[in-house]
A = this chain, B = another copy of it.
Amino acid sequence: MKQTRKSFLTTSLLAAGYAALPFKPVFALGKGSSKMKFRFTPYTLELRHVFTIASNSRSTTPVVLTEIEYDGIIGYGEASMPPYLGESHQTVTDFYKKVNLEQFNNPFELENILTYIDNIDHKNCAAKAGIDIALHDLIGKLMNQPLYNIWGFDKTKTPNTTYTIGIDKPDVVRQKVKEAAEFKLLKVKLGRDTDKEMIETIRSVTDKPLTADANQGWKDKQFALDMLHYLHEKGVVVIEQPMDKDNIDDHAWLKERSPIPIIADEGCQRLVDIPRIHHAYHGINIKLMKSTGLREAHKMLDLARALGMKVMLGCMTETSCAISAASHLSPMVDWADLDGALLISNDVYDGTKVIDGRVTLNDRPGIGVVKK
């Protein structure tokens, strides 16, 4: 006989000696004497290719893997620290040594806990994200639901992800494009004097739509506008951060004239930045390591939408832990750039996958990862 959930629960609870009051919280989560236990482990990601953007090259990324344990359930998190963001194994470790989660009895009180975390220091956005992600994973597991269900999103509406082609020699670029056959959208790193060469090289092997990221590399607004017209003709559909993040006026000038949407990346870190810059960009790139994690990222998504802005969801080089966390927001964004775990050779988690170029959520609770 097929049991309904309710009758099954009731039967189980009666068997266990619980009173069968309908809807009485069954396990009284967060009200017992359990404490949250926080652990962290520095780790170094090995990149499959040396990665070059406008400002630097590198072959590894330091991360710190986190765990928050409560009542026998473990939530996983991650802080990723590409060096240009000013965080490192040392700064994240120093930050985490100041964290005391045992003062909180209820892991569901995210607003309290994450406000406390945010107030420890005004920097350390990636370190904060490492705690936010583990907490979200934990509460998802405690509620036995994937985050996308808790947030009311539709897992079938996930977007294709872009796959990033770093700045490199033409032969290497062509090779990378061929390796990216699965992806429906490629992301091109620009902002150097080789920009047109990069585009021509890619266009010599594929006509897929492209997204572009100048990483503040263009110094002059008229040059930037000329580039945007050129890129538009070449099938680039959106551009990130054409010029210096502090040059808001020139971005506003460019926004009025650009043939394609302009997205703030370095120019928009957190929620508080959006009202300040929203007249100067068509949209924002939300990344958990900038936003301090999922809770503020979700608020940024809602704020951007309320202001009529486009939303891109990005990442650093990260394991499948932080990538999976971000992926639960992806049904609500215009563009996803969640290839971070695909660019490394030593992932330690199995989670959200890219299948046929598309961000593909699984049914596991929380952020949906298991250790490999």
A40 to chain B, nearest CB (A): 21
Contact mask for chain A residues 1-34; partner B; CB cutoff 8 A; 1 contact, 0 none = 0011111100110011000000111110111000
CA A71 to CA B5, docked complex, whole Å: 7
Which segment of A60-68, A184-192, A213-221, A271-279 sits at the interface? A271-279
A280 to chain B, nearest CB (A): 16
CA A154 to CA B107, docked complex, whole Å: 10
Q: Is A358 an interface residue (CB 8 A)?
A: no
On whether the beta carbons of B26 and A271 are closer than 8 Å, the reply is: no
Contact mask for chain A residues 300-314; partner B; CB cutoff 8 A; 1 contact, 0 none = 001100111000000
- The chain B residue with its CB closest to the CB of A113 is B152
Q: Is A145 an interface residue (CB 8 A)?
A: yes
Q: Is A120 an interface residue (CB 8 A)?
A: no
On whether the beta carbons of A365 and B23 are closer than 8 Å, the reply is: yes
On whether the beta carbons of B141 and A144 are closer than 8 Å, the reply is: no
CA A72 to CA B5, docked complex, whole Å: 8
6 additional A-B residue pairs with CB within 8 Å, beyond A23-B365, A109-B152, A111-B153:
A5-B29, A6-B72, A27-B144, A108-B152, A139-B152, A302-B303
Q: Which of A30, A299, A331 gathers most chain B CB within 10 Å?
A: A299
A346 to chain B, nearest CB (A): 24
Contact mask for chain A residues 157-201; partner B; CB cutoff 8 A; 1 contact, 0 none = 100000000000000000000000000000000000000000000
A69 to chain B, nearest CB (A): 11
A-B pairs with beta carbons under 8 Å apart, 17 shown: A3-B16, A4-B72, A5-B73, A8-B16, A12-B12, A12-B16, A29-B149, A31-B363, A106-B154, A109-B153, A111-B152, A111-B332, A112-B154, A143-B143, A143-B145, A274-B306, A275-B307
